[in-house]
């Protein structure tokens, strides 16, 4: 078995069949290479029944799949860990239940895995809007074409993985990772609930002897921007932004920054390659979006923000004053202008400031 496609679900009855259809429509050539593992976190909307019913129609084709049900919601990271434990494939691919794969994606992915045998394969994706069904982004990654050979980028060191390919993708659906090295990380404690799988990937590349990493430039995944469920959508000057509740994106960003500068403080190419340290301007975007959504500054917010961002001069120069400013002062027009300035700074710096 080459590849385990793991799908964590929680109340995805509206979308799960569409996601599975995009995979199973390509499965005839890969019955011995690909399996699907679904881990459901106590869905109450019939997600499991719909998935089982749809998958059962393919049993006659010797298709391999498993559906694991949790009676309660044990969290996204728990579901990912369970998929890693259950995986029989040499590689694990966690695919969002609301995402789907493009035509010929399985062919491109399996060919790349077999040809390059990477520790981690990064995928490219298109992004589309759930309500309008219009494509918002034809390609998430936009690398210099000189780096791409035969629709791929191939590097042979962990440092180059972070500096050339930019490391693991924060979008979970765009990472395919060696199973054995992921399974070795399961006995390590997680620093954060939200970024648990991202941490597993970073830990696994430090444990693995394999130092080959690849990137597939042809988009193979179609990522949906959702308007309900765990991934709600708002928008700012530069397009849709994923936020949870009203201002949870701020806490999510802080978790990633904390992970970078605390768990990986002694591994500079990881610490400098993820979170706010890869893109310090993200502090302004995160705080301004959260303030607009109603985030109020209190002692807890200040302590957490300092622990996460305190070593970045962007935090002291712009982030902290904006965080402490009364919400009524930061009007949408002012926030929009501030983000426009920051966007221009990002264009001036070819590589984001460290």
Report residue 172: phi and psi, to 5°: -55, -35
CB contact at 8 A, 194 and 257: no
Q: How far is CA 115 from the centre of its chain?
A: 25
- Site of tokens 């305190």: 310
Taking Cα atoms as reference points, which of 149, 156, 23, 171 lies closest to residue 96? 171
CB contact at 8 A, 198 and 81: no
d(CA 142, CA 136): 14
Which sequence spans correspond to the domains of the chain? 3-225, 232-348
CATH class of 3-225: alpha beta
Taking Cα atoms as reference points, which of 216, 195, 204 lies closest to residue 92? 204
CB contact at 8 A, 92 and 4: yes
Bridging pattern class, strands 3-9 and 91-94: parallel
- The tens place of each residue's pLDDT in the chain, 354 residues long, gives 999 999 999 999 989 999 999 999 999 999 999 999 999 999 999 999 999 999 988 765 778 999 999 888 888 889 999 999 999 999 999 999 989 999 999 999 999 999 999 999 999 999 887 777 788 888 989 888 999 999 999 999 999 999 899 899 988 999 999 999 999 999 999 987 778 999 999 999 999 999 999 999 999 999 986 544 433 333 333 333 333 344 455 667 777 777 887 888 889 888 877 766 666 667 777 777 677 667 778 888 888 788 777 877 778 888 888 888 887 777 666 766 776 676 677 666 654 433
Pure H helices in 208-265: 248-258
d(CA 149, CA 170): 24
pLDDT of residue 137: 83
pLDDT of residue 243: 35
């Amino acid at each position: 078995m080459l590849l385990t496609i793991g799908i964590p679900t929680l109340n995805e009855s509206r979308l799960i069949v569409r996601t599975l259809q995009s995979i199973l429509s390509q499965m005839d050539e890969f019955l011995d290479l690909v399996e699907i593992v679904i881990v459901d976190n106590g869905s109450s909307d019939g997600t499991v029944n719909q998935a089982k019913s749809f998958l059962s129609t393919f049993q006659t084709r010797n298709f391999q799949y498993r559906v694991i049900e949790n009676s309660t919601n044990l969290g996204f990271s728990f579901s990912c860990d369970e998929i890693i434990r259950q995986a029989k494939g040499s590689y694990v691919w966690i695919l969002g239940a609301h995402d789907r794969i493009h035509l010929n994606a399985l062919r491109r992915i399996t060919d790349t895995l077999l040809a390059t045998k990477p520790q981690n394969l990064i995928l490219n994706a298109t992004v589309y809007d759930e309500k309008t069904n219009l494509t918002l982004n034809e390609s998430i990654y936009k690398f210099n074409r000189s780096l791409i050979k035969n629709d791929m980028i191939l590097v042979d060191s962990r440092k180059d993985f972070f500096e050339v390919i930019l490391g693991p993708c924060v979008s979970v659906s765009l990472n395919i990772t060696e199973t054995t090295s992921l399974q070795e990380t399961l006995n390590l404690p997680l620093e954060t609930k939200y970024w648990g799988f991202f941490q597993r990937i970073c830990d696994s590349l430090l444990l693995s002897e394999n130092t080959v990493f690849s990137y597939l430039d042809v988009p193979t995944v179609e990522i949906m921007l959702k308007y309900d469920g765990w991934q709600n959508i708002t928008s700012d000057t530069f397009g849709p932004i994923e936020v949870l509740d009203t201002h949870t994106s701020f806490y999510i960003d802080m978790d990633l920054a904390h992970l970078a500068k605390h768990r990986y403080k002694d591994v500079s190419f990881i610490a400098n390659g993820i979170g706010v340290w890869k893109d310090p301007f993200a502090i302004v975007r995160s705080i301004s979006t959260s303030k607009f959504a109603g985030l109020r500054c209190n002692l807890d917010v200040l302590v957490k923000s300092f622990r996460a961002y305190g070593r970045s001069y962007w935090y002291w120069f712009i982030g902290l004053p904006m965080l402490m400013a009364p919400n009524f002062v930061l009007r949408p027009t002012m926030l929009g202008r501030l983000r426009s300035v920051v966007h221009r700074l990002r264009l001036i710096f070819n590589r984001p400031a460290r």
